[in-house]
Amino acid sequence: MADKDALYIKGLKEGDRYVFEQIFRNYYPALCSYARHYTHNKADAEEIVQDFFCKLWDKHLEIHINAGLTSYLRKSVINHCLNSTRKLETERKIIQYGENLEVIQGTTYQESNIELSECISRALLQLPDKRREIFELSRFEGLKYHEIAEKLNINIKTVETQMTRSLDFMRRYLKDFIAVMALIISNITIR
């Protein structure tokens, strides 16, 4: 690791604002360019990198940089890009699922569906990664429990347990939308 990197890392961990500003000034343009390869959009790339730097500063006491600073920053930005892409895809699927519910119900509740979609997005982001993945495979991709178990190479009982926990959490989190949840849950338990 270069001496400059070592000084930057030390200063960052100590909460030195000047060092943080230097890291930001020196790496921001390159990281935005790097993120753009994943987002294909300049504004999104800049937002992701800015968000990353905010989180880096907020958690500067907790960071562990074993490789060089450049490598750490690039990997972190890649992770932020991937998380952002997953979040946008999840939101898109939730909106699509809400639109499908409108067809099932035979009426349009556009405003409440937007609110419901936002609540579902927030709820999904609170689930542990594996549980969320199982839930999304079941709800958004329409896979049956045994198909999920095969795809993820896990026991079908694990899928059932994780889905039960997901549904319990979703019921509590979305209690304001209980009527819609009853419809969703009736569709889920039929599988």
Instruction: Tell me, letter by letter, the H, E, C secondary structure of the chain.
Output: CCHHHHHHHHHHHCCCHHHHHHHHHHHHHHHHHHHHHHHCCHHHHHHHHHHHHHHHHHCCCCCCCCCCHHHHHHHHHHHHHHHHHHHHHHHHHHHHHHHHHHHHHCCCCHHHHHHHHHHHHHHHHHCCHHHHHHHHHHHCCCCCHHHHHHHHCCCHHHHHHHHHHHHHHHHHHCHHHHHHHHHHHHHHHCC
The answer to whether residue 101 is domain-embedded is no
Question: What's 163's domain CATH number?
Answer: 1.10.10.10
Both 114 and 46 in one domain: the answer is no
Check residue 70 and give its pLDDT.
87
Q: Based on the fold, state whether residues 67 and 117 are members of the same structural domain.
A: no
pLDDT grade, residue 30 (50/70/90)?
very high
Residues 7 and 79 both lie in one domain? yes
Which of 48-57, 61-70, 85-94, 143-152 is the least confident region?
85-94
Is the domain of 76 the same as that of 122?
no
Whether residue 175 is contained in a domain is answered as yes
pTM over 0.75: no
Interatomic CA distance for residues 107 and 3, integer angstroms: 65
Based on the fold, state whether residues 72 and 118 are members of the same structural domain. no
66 with 115, same domain: the answer is no
Is 135 contained in some domain? yes
Per-residue pLDDT band at 66 (split at 50, 70, 90): confident
The tens digit of pLDDT for each residue in 72-129 reads: 899 989 888 888 877 777 766 766 666 665 554 544 445 556 666 777 788 888 889 8
116 and 53 in one domain?
A: no
Q: Is residue 92 part of a domain?
A: no
Residues 11-24, mean pLDDT to the nearest whole number: 90
Same domain, 78 and 121: no
- Contact status, residue 65 vs residue 9, Cβ threshold 8 Å: yes
CATH number at 25 reads 1.10.1740.10
In this structure, is residue 96 part of a structural domain? no
Considering the domain architecture, whether residues 76 and 148 belong to the same structural domain is answered as no
User: Do 64 and 25 share a domain, yes or no?
Assistant: yes
Same domain, 113 and 52: no
How many independent structural domains does the chain possess?
A: 2
Nearest to 94 by CA among 137, 139, 127: 139
User: Do the domain assignments include residue 16?
Assistant: yes
Residue 136 is predicted with a pLDDT of: 87
Residue that has been written with the tokens 């429990």 in this structure? 145
Q: What pLDDT digit, counting tens, does each position of 134-189 carry? A: 988 888 888 888 889 999 999 989 998 998 898 888 878 777 665 554 555 555 44
pLDDT for position 25:
93
Domain that holds residue 175: 109-189
